[in-house]
C-alpha cells in the first residue's frame, strides 16, 4: 500500500512537468516538422501496441487453463511459413515507413559544420557560461534577447566560448549542440510572430538553469527599426 502511494506521488510529479511541452505546439516550420515526427512515430507505435495487446488479451483468454483442457496435449507444430513471413516483413515495412520522413527531416534540419551560405537573417550566436550573445548583421550585439523578422529564415551561426552548450527554443527549433572552436550553421524556417522562451539544453555548470533567453519574432518593419535603434530593448 505504501509503495502504491509513493509511486502515485512520483507519477503525479512527472505529470507536473508536462504542462509546458511547447514542443507539441510549434510556431514555425522547423518546429512543425519536428512535432510531425513525434506524432507520426507515436501513431505508428500505438498501432503496434494496440495489435500486440489485442493478441495478448485474446491469447490469455483463448488458451487459459480450464478443467476440460487440463489433460489436452497441444499438437506439435514445426514452423509456420506464412506466420513467420508476416512477422518478419511487417516490422521491416513499418521501419521503412518510419525511416523515410525521419531521415528526410533530420537531414534537412541538421546543422552544417562549415559557415554555410544560407539565405536569411544572419545571426552570430555565442554561448558562454551562462549567457547567450546575439550579434546582428550590422554588428548590433544583445545578450539573452534575440529579435528577428518574421517570414525570412533565421540563419544562426552557433559557437561557444567555453564548454558545450545546447541551443533550444522549444516552440521554434532545436536542440542543437553548441561547441567551442567549431561553428555550426543552423536554420530556423518560417518562424511565426510572437515571443518565445529559449534555454540551454546541455548541463554546462552550476548556473546552467539560468542560461535562458527570449526570442521575439517581429514584423520586418519593426526589425528594421530595431536594428537601427540605439537603445537595446
CB of 127 to Cu ion, least distance (A): 6
Q: Which is nearer to Cu ion, 111 or 120 (CB)?
A: 111
How far is Cα 114 from Cα 52, in angstroms, rounded to an integer? Answer: 46
Number of residues binding to Cu ion, judged by CB under 5 A: 4
The grid cell for 49 is 501496441
CB of 201 to Cu ion, least distance (A): 8
Which DSSP letter does residue 138 get? T
Site for Cu ion in 31-90 (CB under 5 A): none
* Distances from the Cα of 54 to the Cα of 11, 58, 62, 194, 200, angstroms: 26, 6, 12, 45, 43
Pick the piece of the chain touching Cu ion (CB under 5 A) from 46-54, 134-142, 160-168, 221-229. 160-168
Burial-class residue 169 by CB neighbours within 10 Å (0-12, 13-18, 19+).
buried
Q: Which is nearer to Cu ion, 213 or 226 (CB)?
A: 213
Q: Which is nearer to Cu ion, 125 or 204 (CB)?
A: 204
Distance, CA of 86 to chain centre: 33
Q: Which is nearer to Cu ion, 172 or 211 (CB)?
A: 211
Pick the piece of the chain touching Cu ion (CB under 5 A) from 7-15, 86-94, 139-147, 162-170. 162-170
Site for Cu ion in 163-222 (CB under 5 A): 165, 200, 204, 211
- Runs of H (alpha helix) within the chain: 2-16, 29-62, 81-109, 220-228
- Report the interface residues with Cu ion, using CB under 5 A: 165, 200, 204, 211
Amino acid at each position: 500500500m505504501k509503495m502504491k502511494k509513493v509511486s502515485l506521488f512520483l507519477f503525479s510529479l512527472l505529470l507536473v512537468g508536462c504542462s509546458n511541452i511547447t514542443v507539441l505546439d510549434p510556431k514555425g516550420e522547423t518546429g512543425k516538422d519536428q512535432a510531425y515526427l513525434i506524432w507520426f512515430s507515436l501513431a505508428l507505435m500505438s498501432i503496434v501496441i494496440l495489435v500486440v495487446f489485442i493478441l495478448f488479451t485474446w491469447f490469455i483468454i483463448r488458451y487459459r487453463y480450464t478443467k476440460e483442457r487440463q489433460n489436452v496435449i497441444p499438437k506439435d507444430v514445426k514452423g509456420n511459413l506464412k506466420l513467420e513471413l508476416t512477422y518478419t516483413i511487417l516490422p521491416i515495412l513499418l521501419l521503412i515507413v518510419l525511416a523515410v520522413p525521419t531521415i528526410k527531416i533530420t537531414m534537412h534540419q541538421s546543422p552544417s559544420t562549415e559557415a554555410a551560405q544560407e539565405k536569411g537573417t544572419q545571426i552570430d550566436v555565442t554561448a558562454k557560461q551562462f549567457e547567450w550573445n546575439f550579434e546582428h548583421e550590422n554588428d548590433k550585439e544583445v545578450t539573452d534577447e534575440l529579435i528577428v523578422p518574421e517570414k525570412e529564415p533565421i540563419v544562426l551561426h552557433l559557437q561557444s566560448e567555453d564548454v558545450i552548450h545546447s541551443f533550444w527554443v522549444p516552440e521554434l527549433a532545436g536542440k542543437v549542440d553548441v561547441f567551442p572552436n567549431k561553428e555550426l550553421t543552423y536554420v530556423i524556417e518560417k518562424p511565426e510572430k510572437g515571443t518565445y522562451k529559449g534555454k540551454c539544453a546541455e548541463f554546462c555548470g552550476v548556473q546552467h538553469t539560468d542560461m535562458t533567453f527570449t526570442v521575439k519574432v517581429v514584423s520586418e518593419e519593426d526589425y528594421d527599426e530595431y536594428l537601427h535603434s540605439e537603445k537595446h530593448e
